[in-house]
Homo-oligomer: A and B are copies of this chain.
Amino acid sequence: MLKLSKLTDYAVVALVRLGQKNEVTTSPVLSRSTGIPEPTVAKVLKILATQGIVTSQRGARGGYRLAHPLEEISIASVIQAIDGPISLTTCVDGGDCDARSTCGLGGQWDMVNAAIRNALSAITLADMKNHTVIDRLGGLQAPSMPSGPAATA
């Protein structure tokens, strides 16, 4: 349904919360503070650690800390860390599409895909925290639409 996994949603919440208290934080603490189930938030942080979004400190008195400030972490990077690369269709980036030769849509999906990716890259976690997403998206509505699409609902 063009939806991203629930893990990604959790990741954003956890990261924003991590950015508010700028110190090493453990999974249980983050779980209590966000309301996300403890095992789940732990898993999310584990993945984020492997992707370099957060740095981890093992052992007692360990925990997680942001690798970059919130302003430098884009939504896209979080999505790609959890859900994998942003690829609307299988045929972007030379995917193994069955109807490659006959479809006639050569590479147009790549454009759409890149547009989505750019939009998501422009939004940072700081925007999510400060509720300033709308500012960044000001130019996102299609600029010129001569013959308005009808079947949009």
Interface residues of A (CB under 8 A from B): 1-4, 6, 8-10, 12-13, 16-17, 33-37, 52-53, 67-68, 71-77, 79-80, 83-91, 97-109, 111-112, 114-116, 118-124, 127-129, 131, 133-134, 136-145, 147, 149-153
Contacts and interface: CB of A to CB of B under 8 A. Distances in A.
A46 B58 CA distance: 54
Contact of A4 (B35, B71, B88, B120): B88
Given A1-B84, A1-B86, A139-B143, 17 more contacts: A4-B88, A6-B89, A9-B90, A9-B109, A16-B105, A33-B102, A35-B98, A35-B99, A37-B98, A72-B151, A107-B131, A108-B127, A108-B131, A108-B133, A111-B133, A112-B133, A119-B119
